A and B are shown apart, each in its own frame.
Chain A
């Protein structure tokens, strides 16, 4: 059972308006059967400080990743997680979080790997909800465990691996990290922990489009026209392009993946979650430094 879509005019401009909801829409529907609100933050304790009433917490780091192998959960582990959270396969899931929905977009991308059909983002995320003076609670949501079916992850459509990137040269690559990371000046985000890439720079030919350019000052997504100006006019993406986006560990590029896929309607967009922590430490992969995109390797 799917909850009706948000008819807001701003959303209608996007290629897939059904992937976003406004704070107004959500506020009116909290508690509606078939709707589950999920908070996914960078800070693992932020949910505990106060969250949107009825929201359940999904932590990107401790819950969506396999604890041993560098990979996401298996189908069985994902089913176990969602069952325990009280999320059914046919539920409408609305995800929101801190930092312009950066981690919320990452969670949405992981949900999509498992083919959870109706998963949406709250435009503006946690900050907008709070800025509008809407209620928060520390009460635990009253959701009973449900049966979520075991669905194997599909890594072929929206996920790219290192080998896919090597075979991708000649097609558009988007590097969504900070300019300092792109040029190779540093291997991690300004003010973020070093995550251990041995080399700095970017994948040759990748265009630099820091992910946050897609967000407006209030944390909502920029309008369709503004996004078209960035990704079509400036970067030169065209309908039918196969695009791979990457960042440092695949989180920021999930945000860009969401923008390209759901807001602008590109169909062949993949997120390279190995991203710079893998590429920057891999042996004999090509790397470009400096502000220029660099040449695709020959042969």
Chain B
């Protein structure tokens, strides 16, 4: 993976994680978790639009949309009792926001594994973020085709 092709927000997130020791990476993930925005009101009453991320241990739902300018936004909701999952969703929601679909498709599938979270969180748990990214890309494909 080449940092120069990675969207700036995701590249910055990765740099931030890798600059920290293992313990501080957990703290940063918690910061992301706390930053996960509430679902926009228009989706709150439409749980049917949201897709459950089966790869995650906790109930997390995502929805990807393309705005009239052709830019991508990802929304996610996960319970407060699942801060790790919320953290993963928050990293992607912030990292994907405002990208073009092509930029999203170009995000390497192993981006979650490149954040240095394997040791802090365990490789198995990081798979949850991989599932989220894969589903976001698939939803995006569907939105564009629609």
A178 → chain B closest CB, angstroms: 14
Query: Helix, strand, loop or mixed for chain B's interface?
Result: helix
The answer for the CA separation of A45 and B120 in the assembled complex, in Å, is 10
Choice from A44, A67, A191, A192 contacting B84 with Cβ under 8 Å? A44
The answer for the CA separation of A61 and B127 in the assembled complex, in Å, is 14
Choice from B57, B59, B83, B119 contacting A45 with Cβ under 8 Å? B83
**A46 neighbours in B (Cβ, 8 Å):** 81-84
Contact of A71 with B by CB under 8 A: no
Q: What total of chain B residues lie within 8 Å of the partner, measured CB to CB?
A: 28
A98 → chain B closest CB, angstroms: 6
Interface size class, chain A: 10 to 19
Contact A49 B58 (CB under 8 A): no
With A62-B120, A193-B56, A193-B57 known as contacts, the answer to whether A44 contacts B26 (CB < 8 A) is yes
19 contacts between A and B (CB under 8 A): A43-B58, A44-B120, A44-B121, A45-B30, A45-B33, A45-B83, A45-B84, A45-B87, A48-B27, A49-B30, A49-B80, A61-B122, A62-B120, A62-B122, A191-B52, A191-B57, A191-B59, A193-B55, A193-B56
Query: Helix, strand, loop or mixed for chain A's interface?
Result: loop
Choice from A45, A48, A191, A195 contacting B124 with Cβ under 8 Å? A195
B28 → chain A closest CB, angstroms: 11
Contact A191 B54 (CB under 8 A): yes
Q: Which chain A residue lies CB-closest to B60?
A: A191
Contact of B128 with A by CB under 8 A: yes
Central interface residue in B80, B81, B82, by most chain A CB within 10 Å:
B81
Contact of A18 with B by CB under 8 A: no
Q: Which chain A residue lies CB-closest to B118?
A: A62
Q: Which chain B residue lies CB-closest to A46?
A: B83
The answer for the CA separation of A191 and B59 in the assembled complex, in Å, is 8
Contact of B125 with A by CB under 8 A: yes
Contact of A42 with B by CB under 8 A: yes
**B52 neighbours in A (Cβ, 8 Å):** 191
Contact of B29 with A by CB under 8 A: yes
